[in-house]
Structure 1
């Protein structure tokens, strides 16, 4: 009897391990780890987050302190990337600029996530006139080019980093809503949804606890890629003078202020441009890797 109990316990433990091994999220992480470019993107993304969190400790100088006596200095031990026209350390401003970029990406996509998931889930679940109205709004918003629409909104609201959050959220939610709508429409006829209805669950509970959790894979991918788009759009708006305003250490604003010194001090444009390029590349690589890992149709080679 003791041997039988031990064998039964061993079999149950093996079954539990198999369930854990073949968990969808565990399987997605396994696929993601096999994608070298995705892991490079993840590393860049993690580095961006660390730099943003520890910016006051990493930066060597106050990014807002003006010292005209040290204007346009070349790279040195004191200023690793040199100084700008006001004597501010370019390295310190780039480090603090990571905070601005990360805030823009996360806050913008958080707002877009709330709006897009809510409207998309309602349209996909209820259909009928609700779907027609929401789909019409989605099509109207998607009819405008992303950046031009953001510029138009910023021209109406006025420049400022807080208005950037709102403008980019407004232009970001329609794509997310359309994805969620399609997912919910395909899932609402599944057996587990019918079983929840038979047990008396209301529409709110069905959408929140059964439908949206099963849409998380495309939502995560879309939001990850959306963070990259938002960071790039903020840099463009700040470059045009519609985003962050001086003396905020925004990468786009640094590019704009360095235009006049492209020949005499090219580092004023090159270094923030590289920061933008590496950040967007990392997020896009990570987002593409997530898409491949979370897509059940993708198979290992």
Structure 2
């Protein structure tokens, strides 16, 4: 006679198990893990950026400045150009949050409207720098030989020019006394000077990225399959070489905001009646002791904008570089 306990153990049915033969590889994984697809470089970078408080803080300030530059009327109804002398150097209060300048103009309105000129000059200068430097870097790195040598020597000539001194020479040479400061010509000259003096750095970054990428297996395979130069550059080289330029371009926006303010402070950049943070700082330098608020508010916005772009660039650099994660 068999033992009842043994008989119950033998007769207990086992739960059905999935067949090992022909079963999918992710049969035992959770549902969310089955649907997750492998991410690329940008996907991994975004996942890393989402966990960084520094990224969200800097991005929030940048969005605020961009909205401020695009729609200044959302923040103030004041007139940034015209004022009343009866309000000359009135300190901050309920009627004027940031006070009034020497000519009785609302400092808060001027700070808000000043973001437009500074950010427009910086963004357009960065776009021109990336376009010129990136194009020449791709040509020099991909073609090599005498083309690389010629473009590199041209870049060395511009790279050896002192930035501030070169910008002063360009602006004082082309900005004649007959130029109307209220027209976009002076802004175009500032953008031109910043672009001409900055593209060699971008050219070197792009050239080094192309030299490190053009001998990769997928480039060699595309060339062996008969792909033309244009297709190889646009479809393979450019997407894989944009990461350093993206990081440098973000940092460069903040640097160009500071550069525009420096040139305007020296009197060779933007001029009145254009409203910018650099012009406001230049106008307030003679009243630092008696009315320090005239300098404090535009300088605070300028420093915050520069630091926001620099911090965003650093966060993007750490996210795109696997060695820094």
- Shared fold per TM-score greater than 0.5: yes
Q: Deviations over 1:136-159 (max 9, x none)?
A: 111111112222222222122227
- 2:151 counterpart of 1:134: yes
Specify every segment of 5 or more residues in structure 1 that has no aligned partner in the other structure, as ranges.
none
* Pairing of 1:11-50 with structure 2 (within 5 A): 14=33, 17-19=36-38, 22-50=39-67
Against the structure 1 CA distance between its residues 123 and 266, is the aligned structure 2 distance closer, same or farther, given a 3 Å change threshold?
A: same
- 2:111 counterpart of 1:94: yes
Q: Deviations over 1:18-71 (max 9, x none)?
A: 32xx33212111222333323322222122112212212212301112322221
Provide the rounded CA distance (Å) in 2 between the counterparts of 1:15 and 1:298.
29
Specify every segment of 5 or more residues in structure 2 that has no aligned partner in the other structure, as ranges.
1-17, 177-185
* Pairing of 1:32-71 with structure 2 (within 5 A): 32-71=49-88
Provide the rounded CA distance (Å) in 1 between the counterparts of 2:313 and 2:164.
21
Partner in structure 2 of residue 125 of structure 1: 142
Contact 2:55 2:315 in 1 (8 A): yes
Provide the rounded CA distance (Å) in 2 between the counterparts of 1:166 and 1:59.
31
Provide the rounded CA distance (Å) in 2 between the counterparts of 1:208 and 1:191.
17
Q: Deviations over 1:112-135 (max 9, x none)?
A: 111011000000000001100111
Contact 1:161 1:245 in 2 (8 A): no
Partner in structure 1 of residue 240 of structure 2: 214
Partner in structure 2 of residue 228 of structure 1: 254
Q: Indicate which of 204, 212, 218 corresponds to 2:230.
A: 204
After TM superposition, give the deviation of residue 261 of structure 1 in Å. Answer: 1.2
- 2:322 match: secondary structure: coil
Provide the rounded CA distance (Å) in 2 between the counterparts of 1:34 and 1:8.
33
Query: How many residues were matched structurally?
Result: 293
Contact 1:41 1:282 in 2 (8 A): yes
Provide the rounded CA distance (Å) in 1 between the counterparts of 2:35 and 2:127.
36
Against the structure 1 CA distance between its residues 74 and 13, is the aligned structure 2 distance closer, same or farther, given a 3 Å change threshold?
A: closer
Structure with the higher fraction of residues in helix conformation: 1
Against the structure 1 CA distance between its residues 71 and 23, is the aligned structure 2 distance closer, same or farther, given a 3 Å change threshold?
A: same
Contact 1:235 1:251 in 2 (8 A): yes
Instruction: Please tell me whether Structure 1 or Structure 2 has the larger radius of gyration of its CA atoms.
Output: 2
After TM superposition, give the deviation of residue 13 of structure 1 in Å. Answer: 8.3
Contact 1:59 1:96 in 2 (8 A): no
